[in-house]
Structure 1
Amino acid sequence: MTNTAAIVGGGVIGGGWAARFSLMGWQVRIFDPDPEAERKVGAVLDGARRALPMLYDTSMPEPGTVVYCATLAEAVAGAGWIQESVPEQLDLKHEVLSGIQANCRAEAIICSSTSGFKPSELQDGAERPEQILVAHPFNPVYLLPLVELVPSVNNGVEVIDKASKTLSSIGMQPLHVKAEIDAHIADRLLESVWREALWLVRDGIATTQEIDDAIRYGFGLRWAQMGLFETYRIAGGEAGMRHFMAQFGPCLKWPWSKLTDVPDFTNELVDSIAGQSDAQSGHMSIRELERLRDDNLVAILRALKGRDAAAGGLITRHEETMRKPLARTIPLVTVRRSVPVDWADVNGHMNEGRYGQVFSDASEELMRHVGADRAYIDAGNSYFTAETTIKYLAETLVSEEFYVETRVRLGAGKKLRLWHEMKRATDGTLLATCDQFLLHVSLETRRSCPPLPKVQAAVEALAKDHDHG
């Protein structure tokens, strides 16, 4: 049965949810009375379709359809997941949630994207309060994995567990907030930084760009992969967190910040911040800024993925759940993916070294197919590449989708020869070829040797099939 998600409210957050669910294979229905909703959500979907697949080194699920509904009832009827993302007005949210419950299944999960309201406030007066939770994401929802999952005492363990598993299945990192509090966890931290930033601008100490530079060139990079407390633990040196607290704890009593006070939100302060922001970023359109943001996030997350750290490790683990056995076709389709932004060179197309990676990935997929998998390698056996000849036939650009077809040209004893063809997904254009010769080796002696019988039989069978295919 196909999963269906209903998105109520098609703003930036609602559009991001729609993109995340759709690109992970869910059917999506959207309701928003704004006559411009389809255009606005469409722009978010376009950005997500370009960016999200670049996070993964495997083929994406078949995208689910996105349907714009004329009524709330039509959108939520039969949906398993309903995400409310209307403006932050409690009366409005109560009205919308009431309409949802009047038309949805009793077993459906209803989550609010609210950044500030507690779930008990949303549940107040609801027909089925146990059905409503908070699932607060971060923009862009289709790239940033964190979602604060906040229940109240009305929500049972089964509902929380089901919601958490659903969010994990679409590549997100649910943070179960166990105690209700206004603005949850992350926004309270963000609000503290935001208030101090307002004072720094208000008092003429720093401009908007100087504050942003302090974050993006300094501690923001540390926070992206380590968070706050682990960062400070390292700052304590070999003595660890206890030493750090003893050394820097007294500083909390010093008047370094104005977090206990809030500046008046005057027209002068608004004008000052808006003017400085225009000077900083006004030369770029919103779409240009979004693309810059998306490309940077893809590159950062892929870098973290290469280190199997933080959000990058999450992508690696999620990717394994998306990986499927190779279909038994002739030739074998060993790779199907898109070109990530960090593979581009100075000419704006895929770096020549990345073709080698693509064909290496193709051979590794074939290895898994014949049984020379991780366990086989851990047991001391593998194939080493002895020679490759790569021919570059056409340009490949960032975000383009491609696939690799692989034939076994020789599979005799310790010798294995593969022929790879890399093709553009949209029209089958041949982009590059690779003639690859490998030798089976013992990882103990680091010398060539015959493969184990099961792998050898599988390789020889493929060579026979591909010779006649």
Structure 2
Amino acid sequence: MTKTAAIIGGGVIGGGWAARFALMGWDVRIFDPDPEAERKMGEVMRNAERALPMLYDTALPERGRISFHAELADAVQGAIWIQESVPERLDLKLKVYQSLQACCLPDAVIASSTSGFKPSEIQDGAARPEQILVAHPFNPVYLLPLAELVPSPRNTPEVIDKAKTILTEIGMFPLHVRAEIDAHIADRFLEAVWREALWLVKDGIATTEEIDNAIRYGFGLRWAQMGLFETYRVAGGEAGMRHFMAQFGPCLSWPWTKLMDVPEFTDELVDLIADQSDAQSGAFTIRELEAKRDMNLVAMLRALKGREEAAGALLRSHERGLRFDPDGVPMVTQRRVVPIDWTDMNGHMNEGRYGQVFSDAAEVLMAAVGADEAYVAAGNSYFTVETTVKYLMETHAGEAIRVDSRVTLGDGKKLRVFHEMRREADNELLASCDQFMLHVSLETRRSCPPLPHVQAAVEALAARHKES
């Protein structure tokens, strides 16, 4: 059954929420009085449709329907999740909650994208305050998984658990902030870094580009996979965090930063920051910068997924829940979108990645006949002895592909499979692979007959594929 989410405010953040819900199979109903809302949302959606599927090595759910509504009551109809992303004005948010609670489902989760207000503030005067909490995301919402989930004492455990479940279902990481505090957790860090950066620019110590280089070439990559405290714990060596704090703790009293001293936000400072930012990035449009950002995030997150670390481990876990069961004749063994990090200097998919696709297809087929992870862990498997790959057409990043596989030989320890990789959009044959495998004992590393249940499944599949 398709679930429905309502998005109140379709700007950058609201549009990102809409894209993530829709691409995870939810119907999305949008309310935004901006006459340009549909156009802006379309641009965000195009970026999301290109980027998000590249994070996964399996097909995403069928995209949900996106609809725009002129009335708030129409937008929230049937929605079990309502995401408010209107401007950061408390009076406006309170007015929106009063209006939507008059017409929404009483058990729907109403979540605010606010980066600063506490949940008790946005619950003030609400008919059902227990229904409202904070789910603060990070841009782009359709790629970054963190959502700071901030309840107040008026929220019930059931509402909090429901919110966690839904956020997890759409591939996000709900960080439960247990105490109310202005700007929650992450933005307090960002605000401190931002203040110091303003001083460094104002005092002529560094330009905007030099500060960004310090982050993206250094600690930014480190923080992405270890966070703050674990990074410092490692920096302490074998003695760990205690040694690190003993060694570097006294530095906290040294005048290294102007953290508590905010520069006057003058026109001169605004001009200085804006001019330097123009010099750094003005050659690119905002959409070009967004596309560049998205592709970089895809590559980084896929790299982390390969290592099953940090956000990559979350991605891997979510991907397992999206995998489909192979079926049909021929058997569909792969459905995925070609990621950006699979392309080479010619702009098309590297030949080594074809091998990856066909290898993954073979593993799916092996699992279908019982030669799965447990079978391998018990000391048995199939090894590829020979492949013949034919590259027929170019394959590019962002293209949806599938692999159709047929067992052409299933005789004792011999297993031969013919794969065809096709573009989903037009069924064009992109490449083929004739793969010959032998069953082996992982203990002796020599060929041997498969266990009876696997051999029977292979022979049955071979007969089925031969008859069709």
Deviation at 1:79, TM superposition (A): 0.5
Give the corresponding residue for 1:331.
Answer: 330
Deviation at 1:113, TM superposition (A): 0.2
Deviation at 1:371, TM superposition (A): 1.0
Using the alignment, how far apart are the partners of 2:95 and 2:271 within structure 1? 35
Per-residue CA deviation, residues 431-454 of structure 1 (Å, 9 max, x unaligned), is: 000000000011111111111111
Give the corresponding residue for 1:150.
Answer: 150
Give the corresponding residue for 1:377.
Answer: 376
Amino acid in the other structure paired with 2:6 = A
Matched residue SS, 1:433: strand
Give the corresponding residue for 2:271.
Answer: 271
Instruction: Provide the TM-score with structure 2 as the length reference.
Output: 1.00
Using the alignment, how far apart are the partners of 1:219 and 1:323 within structure 2? 35
Equivalent residue pairs, number: 468
The 5-angstrom pairing of residues 62-461 of structure 1 reads 62-327=62-327, 329-461=328-460
Seq. identity, % = 73
Instruction: Provide the TM-score with structure 1 as the length reference.
Output: 0.99
Deviation at 1:70, TM superposition (A): 1.2
Using the alignment, how far apart are the partners of 1:92 and 1:207 within structure 2? 37
Unaligned runs of 5+ residues in structure 1 are none
Using the alignment, how far apart are the partners of 1:62 and 1:16 within structure 2? 18
Per-residue CA deviation, residues 254-274 of structure 1 (Å, 9 max, x unaligned), is: 000001111110000000000
Using the alignment, how far apart are the partners of 2:372 and 2:111 within structure 1? 41
Matched residue SS, 1:291: helix
Deviation at 1:324, TM superposition (A): 2.1
Per-residue CA deviation, residues 406-456 of structure 1 (Å, 9 max, x unaligned), is: 000000100000000000110011000000000001111111111111111
Matched, 1:60 2:60: yes
Per-residue CA deviation, residues 138-174 of structure 1 (Å, 9 max, x unaligned), is: 0000000000000000001110011001000000000
Using the alignment, how far apart are the partners of 2:393 and 2:76 within structure 1? 47
Deviation at 1:67, TM superposition (A): 0.4
Per-residue CA deviation, residues 346-396 of structure 1 (Å, 9 max, x unaligned), is: 000000000000000000010111111111111111000000000000000
Using the alignment, how far apart are the partners of 1:69 and 1:373 within structure 2? 48
Using the alignment, how far apart are the partners of 1:85 and 1:310 within structure 2? 27
Matched residue SS, 2:141: coil
Using the alignment, how far apart are the partners of 1:101 and 1:294 within structure 2? 35
Amino acid in the other structure paired with 1:54 = M
Using the alignment, how far apart are the partners of 2:331 and 2:82 within structure 1? 40
Using the alignment, how far apart are the partners of 2:96 and 2:50 within structure 1? 32
Deviation at 1:326, TM superposition (A): 1.2
Amino acid in the other structure paired with 1:258 = K
Amino acid in the other structure paired with 1:37 = A
Using the alignment, how far apart are the partners of 2:167 and 2:282 within structure 1? 36
Deviation at 1:242, TM superposition (A): 0.3
Using the alignment, how far apart are the partners of 1:236 and 1:376 within structure 2? 42
Matched, 1:24 2:24: yes
Deviation at 1:468, TM superposition (A): 1.1
Amino acid in the other structure paired with 1:2 = T
Using the alignment, how far apart are the partners of 2:3 and 2:37 within structure 1? 23
Give the corresponding residue for 1:35.
Answer: 35
Amino acid in the other structure paired with 2:360 = D
